[in-house]
Chains A and B, each alone.
Chain A
Amino acid sequence: MSCGAKKDVSRRDFLRSGAALATMQLAPGVTLMAFGGSEAQAAADAGKRWGLLIDASKCAPDCNACITACQDENGWKGSGNAETDVQWIRKVTLKDKSSGRETSLPVMCQHCESPPCVDVCPTGASFKRKDGIVLVDKHICIGCRYCMMACPFKARSFVHEHVTNQKTHAPRGIGTVESCTLCVHRVDEGRIPACVEACEATGHGAMVFGDLLDPESEISRRLAEYPSVALRPDLDLNPGVRYREI
């Protein structure tokens, strides 16, 4: 492989077309339009805002498929110490005290439009991409954990242990903070997040991923069709993750 500073245009074009092809093969019979994307994304696009719609009525209380898929995809796992283990996505059970009815739903980084984690970060490591995905630049993160305090959703984790065997596309290590990336490495290739794909595969279909700015996307059409809520709407953070039936 050539690692030149001057970009090898033909190789790049080859990779681009390769990515588009993989996308089409990945979902036979299903166009990317169904997920809200218009074509394979080659880069973060300011004209898009990626989001999730989670239908709690379809989420099975005993199902953990989204969490396992996230662990496999991004290479995080528990070491048996709940106090310090990282958790990019967790299942939360809500109970209506008067009726006793329980609702189960996955909660991860809500990819806030006005993210408190970014507001408080003293180094600039917490940032929001122009397509709305909130990330940590671990090259800059000093592990102060201020963002963990600021996040209203307990979405971020600090890596306490040495990490080995990271995925090439998901570097992570001791002394830095991390959270759901909305599978940014997949989104950049025009694919959908691993959790959504896994939920789809179980047949529950509780999660929809797509572009909130595209009125024709599946997610936008569903949001227009029925009521949905943001978690902690009082905080006015306009999260990219929305819920239904909670």
Chain B
Amino acid sequence: MRASLLIAGLIAMLASAVWAEGQGGLGPVIPEATGKAHPEGNDYMRRWHMSMMRHDRDVTMYEGKRDQNASLGGCFECHAAKDETGTPVTYADARHFCRSCHDFVAVRVDCFDCHRSTPEGVEEPPAHAALGGVLSPSLGADVGALVAYLGAWEVGQ
């Protein structure tokens, strides 16, 4: 009884804390945005941003309509989280806007293998590439290390 009450209490606490103003508590710390708020509301954006981007990317790529609203470039017009010097951070930095939630829910998006993670004109330093994409970060694109790894794996089996 006591345990179930405790769990219920914990769940209630989590539920209220996670998106309470989007800040602090047990939820992710979401960087402040500039610009006007989304008219659809933040809850809608949290639930649907990926579908909106997927829809608009297909319209852009296949139909060539380049005046779409939902685009990564568009996101960073308002959602470029900055470091202490005021420079927008790349996806390699845990403070990056996309990472603030995706890290919290343990989702690694691979958008930034191909798309830049900063507004155009804001340099992504080489450390950004070390993030790792197709290969694991520790192996990187080091073919020698990969061969050694695969060799060791074969022997181990």
Contacts and interface: CB of A to CB of B under 8 A. Distances in A.
A162 B49 CA distance: 26
A3 interface: yes
Nearest to A131: B64
A77 interface: no
A206 to B, nearest CB: 27
A137 B114 contact: no
Nearest to A172: B114
Interface range for A: 35 or more
A5 B62 contact: no
| Residue from B62, B74, B113, B123 having most chain A Cβ neighbours under 10 A | B113
A8 interface: yes
B69 A164 contact: no
Contacts of A175: 113, 133-134
A129 interface: yes
B66 interface: yes
A232 interface: no
A42 interface: yes
B40 interface: yes
How many chain B residues sit at the interface, stated as a range, is 35 or more
A4 B39 contact: yes
Among A137, A162, A166, A184, the one with the most B-chain Cβ atoms within 10 Å of its Cβ is A162
A185 B66 contact: yes
B38 A2 contact: yes
Contacts of A138: 114
Q: Which of B62, B66, B126, B141 has the most CB of A within 10 A?
A: B66
B62 A129 contact: yes
Contacts of A129: 62, 64
A99 interface: no
Interface of A: 1-5, 7-8, 11-12, 15-16, 19, 41-44, 127, 129, 131, 135, 137-139, 143, 160-168, 171-176, 184-185, 187-189
16 contacts: A2-B38, A2-B69, A3-B69, A42-B65, A43-B63, A129-B62, A137-B62, A163-B114, A164-B116, A164-B126, A164-B128, A166-B114, A168-B73, A168-B116, A173-B113, A184-B64
Interface of B: 35-36, 38-40, 45, 48-49, 52, 55, 57, 61-67, 69-70, 72-75, 77-78, 90, 113-116, 120, 123-126, 128-134, 140-141
Given A174-B141, A184-B64, 8 more contacts: A1-B36, A3-B70, A8-B69, A43-B64, A44-B64, A165-B123, A188-B66, A189-B66
